[in-house]
Amino acid sequence: MELNRELLQELELTLDPYHPEDGTVPIEILGFGEISLVFKIIDDPAGDIAYKRLPIFDSVEQVEQHIEAYKRYNQVLSDIGITLPESDATWVYADDKDKGITLFCAQAIIPADRVCNKLLHQQKDVEIIELFRKILAELAIIWEYNATSDTLQLGFDGQISNFAAVKDELYYLDTSTPMYRIDDEDAMEGTLFLKSAPPGVRFLLKIFFLQEILDRYYIFRDVLIDLIANFYKEQRGELVPELVRITNEFLTNLPDVIDPIEPLTVDEIESYYKEDKFIWSLFQKVRSIHRFITTKIFRRKYPFYLPGKINR
């Protein structure tokens, strides 16, 4: 990809995270993560590209190490058979005083109506079940690789919104976080996960929760629980019992190299979802308070985009 870094720098310096669509560089919001904004630039000279904005880096060295790990993660996923959109990444300064770095991960746009969480509301149940089975097969590829790799272990965020189905291809979209470990050492600097939290909360999260947050993406059973719990978030909770049944059947037919996995239950999926919903809702409220203090009291720019109320 030929990314227009000068245009991205102008966008970053003039972006108002409260109203990102009103900046000097016209954009259209495509979506958002818990700490990121996903958008496209209107009439982008680089083409039809989705950008994920991550204003979480402190130095050029730090962001360049992340980009190197990001590209390797994409390459390994592609090598083992996971289909990804064309992608690239670049960085710009977060302000005109060269303090802080913002990373832009770029990806060829997939039609929004083909992202799988959208398909949950468009397709018949039988089609959704078939789509779910395809996602399970993708996850099996990851953990079969992990079971046979001596040094490199892949992490994976299997949320339904991280997949898109275009014709006969299933694409994986969320590659901006390079989740892999070499000899049990994370390629991504773990504290970057916490950069959007207020400083005091960040300290507590680092001590008590960071390792648990990181580990969950490397545990097959935890990834499966998170995937199914997503159906509650997407207002399709009535499918959960059948998805649990299908998953447990799937677990009995894993490749022999993957260690046996204890069957899932509907109760633990529901319990996990309620806990996850509470944690993320609380986290968003704390971030809103932090944004108010930063912008209204200290009159400083708050670098993150906070979405409105999210249905969970």
92 located within any domain = yes
Q: Identify the weakest region by mean pLDDT among 33-42, 61-70, 215-224.
A: 33-42
Which one-letter DSSP state was computed for residue 298?
Answer: S
At residue 216, the pLDDT reads: 92
Specify the range with the lowest mean pLDDT, choosing from 32-41, 110-119, 239-248, 253-262: 32-41
Residue 258 placed within a domain:
no
Which whole-number Å values give the CA distances from 180 to 18, 212, 240, 307, in the listed order? Answer: 33, 15, 29, 29
pLDDT attached to residue 311: 63
CATH number at residue 19: 3.30.200
Arithmetic mean of pLDDT over the chain: 92
Let me know if residue 28 belongs to a domain.
Answer: yes
- Contact in structure between 232 and 271 (CB atoms under 8 Å): no
In a domain? residue 91: yes
Lowest mean pLDDT among 82-96, 153-167, 293-307: 293-307
Alpha carbons within 13 angstroms on the beta-carbon side of residue 159 total 18
pLDDT at residue 33 is higher than 80: no
In a domain, 153, yes or no: no
Position 199 scores a pLDDT of 82
Question: Three-state SS for 24?
Answer: coil
Render 75-102 in DSSP notation, one character per residue.
Answer: HHHHHTT-B---EEEEEEESSTT--SEE
CA 282, CA 158: separation in Å to the nearest integer? 23
Q: How many domains does the chain have?
A: 1
| Six token digits for residue 3 | 């990314």
pLDDT given for residue 143 in this prediction: 97
Q: Span 240-253, mean pLDDT? A: 97
User: 34: which 2 tokens?
Assistant: 């818990």
pLDDT tens digits along 91-150: 999 987 777 899 999 999 999 999 999 999 999 999 999 999 999 999 999 999 999 998
C-alpha dihedral sign at 262, 158, 195, 89: positive
5 located within any domain: yes
More confident call, 96 vs 162: 162
Question: What number is the average pLDDT over the span 282-307?
Answer: 87
Q: What is the pLDDT of residues 42-95, one digit of tens each?
A: 999 888 999 999 998 999 999 999 999 999 999 999 999 999 999 999 999 998
pLDDT in tens, 176-207: 999 999 999 999 888 888 888 888 888 887 88
Q: What pLDDT shows up at residue 309? A: 66
121 within some domain:
no
Whether 133 maps to a domain, the answer reads: no
* Structural domain for 89, as ranges: 1-109
